Amino acid sequence: MYKVFVNDIPIILSTEKDLGEKYVNIPIKEVKFKRIIKKINKGKLLFVNLYHSNEEKLLKHLFKKLPVVTAAGGMVLNPKKEVLFIFRNGRWDLPKGKIEKGEGLEDGAIREVEEETGVKNLKISQFLQETYHVFQRKGRYRLKVTYWYEMTTDYDGELVPEEKEGIMKAKWKNKEKSKKALLKSYANIKLLFPEEILPVYAKNGIA
Give the separation between CA 119 and CA 98, rounded to whole angstroms.
Answer: 18
Element (H, E) at 85: strand 83-88
Q: Parallel, antiparallel, or unpaired for β 48-51 and 9-14?
A: parallel
Give the separation between CA 38 and CA 43, rounded to whole angstroms.
Answer: 9
Instruction: Give the pLDDT confidence of 56-95 residue by residue, as tens digits.
Output: 999 999 999 999 999 999 999 999 999 999 999 999 999 9
Give the separation between CA 137 and CA 46, rounded to whole angstroms.
Answer: 23
Give the separation between CA 96 and CA 94, rounded to whole angstroms.
Answer: 6
CB 202 within 8 A of CB 180: no
Model confidence at 139, in pLDDT bands (50, 70, 90)?
confident
Q: In the predicted model, what is the mean pLDDT of residues 86-108?
A: 96
Q: What is the CA radius of gyration of the chain?
A: 18
The pTM for the full model equals 0.91
3-class state of residue 148 by DSSP: strand
If we measure between CA atoms, which residue out of 88, 93, 86, 110 comes closest to residue 159? 86
**More confident of the two residues 131 and 136:** 131
Give the separation between CA 108 and CA 101, rounded to whole angstroms.
Answer: 10
Give the separation between CA 50 and CA 11, rounded to whole angstroms.
Answer: 7
Give the separation between CA 26 and CA 47, rounded to whole angstroms.
Answer: 11
pLDDT over 70 (residue 197): no
Neighbours of 23 (CB within 10 A): 16
If we measure between CA atoms, which residue out of 25, 108, 42, 168 comes closest to residue 13? 25
pLDDT over 80 (residue 203): no
Domain ranges of the chain: 2-65, 68-203
Could you say which architecture CATH assigns to the domain 68-203?
Alpha-Beta Complex (3.90)
